[in-house]
């Protein structure tokens, strides 16, 4: 994968280049990032030149608070959480539990994301940080087409190094002061540990046979799964 440094877009990268057997994921087809609420002229120019569709995974309150700053590119809004970020922090849910909830409770929404990617247009998937909802969605898309498991996990884990350290310290301090008994809150807000994604994918394999089988069971049409492979794999 390639980390892209474009002012106004955080945690931006192209997942092209990840191995898939003897082939690889196409470059310029699937991008991932944090939110697009603060895009200036340089970011707008990049997006217009490289992206044909945006998938925004945030809920309505997040979109209202920080509207997407993209102009002239179709946006598909797929709120991936069945609940709010605040409720997960207050409930002290772990990253493992959060991702399991996405897979179990949000499977219909996951399928909608796969449908957009399968159309084959250069697509950018984002949430607020590009860590959890984006991380799970992109990992599932890559796993469904047979991408190398270690590379998928590496891409997910890369996010932690892309979040500003000053931001993480401020968030950790805020959470320690207001939610001192929430053991999982800081990890939920700042971390993307490789073992968490590895466990999620292994659990899907165990329960459903494979990520592709999970998506088919969730309602993704076989023809759309085939189209996903054609869109992503060289």
Residue found by looking up tokens 């899907």 in the block = 204
Q: How many domains does the chain have?
A: 1
pLDDT of res. 112: 97
pLDDT of res. 193: 92
- The residues carrying an active-site annotation are 127
pLDDT of res. 177: 55
Q: Provide the residue-wise pLDDT of the chain in tens; the chain has 234 residues.
A: 789 999 999 999 999 999 999 999 999 999 999 999 999 999 999 999 999 999 999 988 889 988 988 888 999 999 987 655 665 655 667 899 999 999 999 999 999 999 999 999 999 999 988 999 999 999 999 999 999 999 999 999 999 888 777 666 676 665 555 555 556 666 777 789 999 999 999 999 999 999 999 999 999 999 999 999 999 999
| Beta-carbon count within 10 A of 86 CB | 9
CATH of the domain at 211: 3.90.190.10
pLDDT of res. 219: 97
pLDDT of res. 124: 98
Query: What is the residue range of 46's domain?
Result: 2-232
pTM (2 d.p.): 0.91
pLDDT of res. 121: 97
């Amino acid at each position: 994968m390639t980390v892209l440094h474009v002012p106004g877009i955080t945690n931006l990268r192209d997942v092209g280049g990840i191995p898939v057997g003897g082939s690889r994921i196409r470059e310029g087809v699937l991008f991932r990032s944090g939110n697009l609420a603060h895009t200036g002229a340089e970011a707008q120019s990049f997006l217009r030149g490289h992206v044909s569709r945006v998938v925004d995974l945030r809920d309505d309150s997040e979109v209202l608070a920080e509207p997407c700053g993209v102009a002239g590119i179709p946006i598909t809004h797929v709120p991936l959480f069945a609940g709010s970020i605040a409720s997960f922090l207050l409930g002290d849910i772990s990253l493992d539990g959060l991702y399991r909830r996405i897979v179990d409770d949000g499977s219909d929404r996951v399928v909608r994301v796969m449908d957009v990617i399968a159309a084959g247009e250069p697509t950018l998937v984002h949430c607020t940080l590009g860590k959890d909802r984006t991380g799970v969605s992109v990992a599932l898309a890559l796993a469904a087409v047979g991408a190398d498991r270690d590379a998928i996990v590496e891409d997910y884990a890369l996010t932690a190094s892309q979040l500003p350290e000053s931001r993480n310290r401020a968030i950790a301090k805020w959470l320690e002061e207001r939610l001192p008994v929430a053991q999982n809150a800081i990890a939920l807000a700042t971390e993307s540990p490789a073992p968490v994604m590895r466990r999620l994918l292994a659990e899907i394999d165990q329960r459903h046979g494979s990520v592709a089988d999970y998506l088919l069971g969730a309602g993704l049409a076989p023809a759309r799964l085939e189209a996903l492979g054609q869109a992503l794999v060289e």
